[in-house]
Amino acid sequence: MEAIILLGAPGSGKGTAAERLRADCGLQHVSTGDMLREAVKAGTPLGVEADGYMKRGELVPDGLIMRLVESRLDNGRADARYMFDGFPRTTAQAKQLDSTFLKRNGRVTNVFFLDAPRAVLMQRLTGRRVCRKCGAVFHVANMPPRKAGVCDVCGGELYQRSDDSEATIANRLDVYNRQTESLISWYTGKNLLVRVDSSRNADVLVKDIRLLLNESLGKRA
Ligand code: AP5
């Protein structure tokens, strides 16, 4: 079992890059944000507990997140390659990921830090629109749908995430600086982290990550 991690602030483009990398890199996309939103929608006990934290733009407690991730790993194949998006988000989660991987004979092979200035993050998050039906992600200016408010992929209705209001975005970015940014030095210390400039066009960014991944696979072969 192996995993790569996409680390970055809200709006740095983790989900967009993951969606493009998933298909041709043989990686299974694990987004804790998506899993939590599904749990909230389904009204599961975990979703009910997580809902308030998410609405306020705060992190969901580590214990809940680890339960979610561990059950995902339990249901996957022993030789699976995962791409974590938005996980881990605290040093406690990173440490618990290390111990859960140790038990499963797994390891983190690469951490890509998607770096973009705060103004870019703000512009991206305030303009993001998501399909209610299939989850495809658009942006009113950067990646507009062909018809405003309608998903290009399935024709579903596009909506704005409730945590994409300006006030909640500001809180999410502050929470990132306080609780997640320290993971940059944590993974640098483990010699796993590569910084990529994610303020660039998504195609260019994904091409770079793909090259770096192939390089690292080549070195390990
Ligand atoms: P989560 O869903 O993970 O949100 P996030 O980390 O805040 O990240 P986003 O999904 O907002 O941004 P992204 O980097 O994926 O950007 P995207 O590609 O969509 O988490 C939500 C909440 O769940 C958290 O606040 C927390 O409460 C909880 N949670 C989740 N995981 C947790 C954990 N591990 N521990 C504790 N709590 C947890 O792009 C954004 C926009 O920009 C889009 O419109 C897109 O079209 C556009 N865009 C993307 N890339 C580009 C580009 N290169 N150029 C131009 N536009 C672009």
| Ligand 1 atom 48 nearest Cα | 13
> Is the distance from the beta carbon of residue 212 to the nearest atom of ligand 1 less than 6 Å?
no
Using one digit for the tens of pLDDT, what is the confidence trace for 56-73?
999 999 999 999 999 999
Please say whether the beta carbons of 114 and 13 come within 8 A: yes
CA-nearest of 8, 190, 17, 9 to 107 is: 190
> Is the distance from the beta carbon of residue 65 to the nearest atom of ligand 1 less than 6 Å?
yes
Contacts with 205 (C-beta within 8 Å, 6 or more apart), sequence order: 13, 17, 114, 196, 197, 198
Using one digit for the tens of pLDDT, what is the confidence trace for 22-60?
877 789 999 999 999 999 999 999 999 999 999 999 999
Ligand 1 atom at minimal distance to the Cα of residue 56: 27
| Ligand 1 atom 19 nearest Cα | 15
Ligand 1 atom at minimal distance to the Cα of residue 8: 14
Residue 191 Cα to ligand 1 midpoint, Å, equals 25
Q: For the whole model, what pTM was predicted?
A: 0.96
Return d(Cα 94, Cα 115) in angstroms, integer: 19
Paired with 81 in beta bridges are 2
> Is the distance from the beta carbon of residue 13 to the nearest atom of ligand 1 less than 6 Å?
yes
Q: Which residues are designated catalytic?
A: 14, 89, 128, 161, 172
Q: What is the pLDDT of residue 220?
A: 72
| Ligand 1 atom 40 nearest Cα | 11
> Is the distance from the beta carbon of residue 10 to the nearest atom of ligand 1 less than 6 Å?
yes
Return d(Cα 2, Cα 103) in angstroms, integer: 13
Using one digit for the tens of pLDDT, what is the confidence trace for 152-182?
999 999 999 999 999 999 999 999 999 999 9
Q: Which of 56, 85, 128 to mutate to test the pocket of ligand 1 (most atoms within 8 A of CB)?
A: 128
Return d(Cα 89, Cα 84) in angstroms, integer: 11
